[in-house]
Structure 1
Amino acid sequence: VNVFGTIAVTQVVLPFLRNSTRPRIINVSSVAGRVYVPFFGPYYASKHALECISDVLRMELSDQGIDVTLVEPGAVQTGFQDHEDAMLERYASQSELYRKSIGRVVAWHRALADDGVQPEVIVETIQAAVRAEKPKVRYVVPKLPPVAFIALARLLPSRLTDRLVRRIVKL
Structure 2
Amino acid sequence: MAQGSIKTAIVTGAASGIGLATAKALQAAGYRVFGTSRKLAPDKSNGIRMLVCDVTDEASVAVMVETVFGETGRIDLLVNNAGFGISGPAEETSVTQAQAMFDVNLFGVIRTTQAVLPLMRAQRGGRIVNVSSVQGLIPAPFMALYGASKHAVEGYSESLDHEVRGQGIRIVLVEPAFTRTAFDQNLVRPDKPLDIYAADRAGRGKFLSEVMKTADAPEVVAKVVVKAATAEVPKRRYAAGPKARQVSLLRRFVPASAFDKALRKEMQLPPLA
Letter in 1 for 2:243: P
- Percent identical among aligned pairs is 34
Tell me which residue corresponds to 2:153.
Answer: 50
Q: Write out aligned runs for 1:6-155 (5 A).
A: 6-20=109-123, 22-84=125-187, 87=189, 94-142=193-241, 144-155=242-253
The 3 A distance-change label for structure 1 pair 154 and 124 is closer
The 3 A distance-change label for structure 1 pair 155 and 130 is closer
RMSD of aligned alpha carbons: 2.1
Cα distance, 1:149 vs. partner?
2.2
Q: Comparing both chains, which one has the higher relative contact order based on Cα–Cα distances under 8 Å and sequence gaps of 6 or more?
A: 1
SS in 1 for 2:135: helix
Cα distance, 1:10 vs. partner?
1.1
SS in 2 for 1:124: helix
Letter in 1 for 2:157: S
In structure 2, distance between residues paired with 1:155 and 1:38: 21
Kept in 2, the 8 Å contact 1:37–1:165? The answer is no
Unaligned runs of 5+ in 2: 1-103
Cα distance, 1:161 vs. partner?
3.0
Cα distance, 1:157 vs. partner?
4.4
Kept in 2, the 8 Å contact 1:71–1:139? The answer is yes
State the TM-score, normalizing by the size of structure 2: 0.55
When the two structures are aligned, how many residues end up with a matched partner? Answer: 166
Kept in 2, the 8 Å contact 1:38–1:105? The answer is no
SS in 2 for 1:80: coil
Deviating more after overlay: 66-75 vs 98-107: 98-107
Deviating more after overlay: 106-115 vs 40-49: 106-115
Report the structure number with the largest CA radius of gyration.
Answer: 2
Cα distance, 1:37 vs. partner?
3.1
Unaligned runs of 5+ in 1: none
State the TM-score, normalizing by the size of structure 1: 0.85
